[in-house]
Amino acid sequence: MDGFTPSNLQREVTDNLHIRRYDRQYFYLTDGREFHNSAIGILNESVYTDLLPESFDELTEAHFEKWLALKPTLILIGTGNKMAFLDPKWQTFFYQKGIGIETMPTDSLCRTFAILAVEDRNALGLFFPLTEETKA
């Protein structure tokens, strides 16, 4: 025997929400809800429509305080069509509170967040829509 133990893979089942499908004007969630032309936040089984401004470059400290109140361990921001970076002072603000924060294009976040949701991670996904008007 070489010490190898076989394992059975099983489909992960979770109540945590994530985006099942997306396009330029909408997000379809795993629970069947749809959101058109609006930015949304998802944390575990909850959806928030009041956590984001219309564009990434309009983020303020007031938004960050709302995010902190939800007590996530990780924050991921889908910046729309293009990659955009959070000001280093705000990255430091979150890191000093023990919260990781990353930005990526929204389509990348949709895929990444689905994995985190299935793993039952306490991650806050913030999704700006993939519209032509996306500012980054």
pLDDT digits (tens, 9 = 90+) for 64-112: 999 999 999 999 999 999 999 999 999 999 999 999 999 999 999 999 9
pLDDT of residue 33: 94
Q: Which residues contact 56 (CB under 8 A, 6 or more apart)?
A: 77, 79, 80, 84, 103, 128, 134, 135, 136
pLDDT of residue 80: 94
Amino acid, single-letter form, for residue 48: Y
pLDDT digits (tens, 9 = 90+) for 3-62: 666 666 555 678 899 999 999 889 999 999 999 989 999 999 999 999 999 999 999 999
Query: How far is C-alpha 74 from the chain's CA centre?
Result: 9
Q: Tell me how many degrees the CA angle 29-35-36 measures, rounded to the nearest 5.
A: 140
pLDDT of residue 134: 43
Cα dist from 51 to 13, 40, 61, 77, 126, whole Å: 27, 7, 11, 11, 8
Q: Does the pLDDT of residue 135 top 50, yes or no?
A: no
State in Å, rounded, how far the first CA of the chain is from the last one.
56
For residues 46 and 111, give the distance between their C-alpha atoms in angstroms, rounded to a whole number: 18
Can you name the CATH fold of 19-127?
Answer: Hypothetical Protein Mth938; Chain: A, (3.40.1230)
**pTM recorded for the entire structure:** 0.86
Let me know: does 31 contact 109? Beta carbons within 8 Å: no
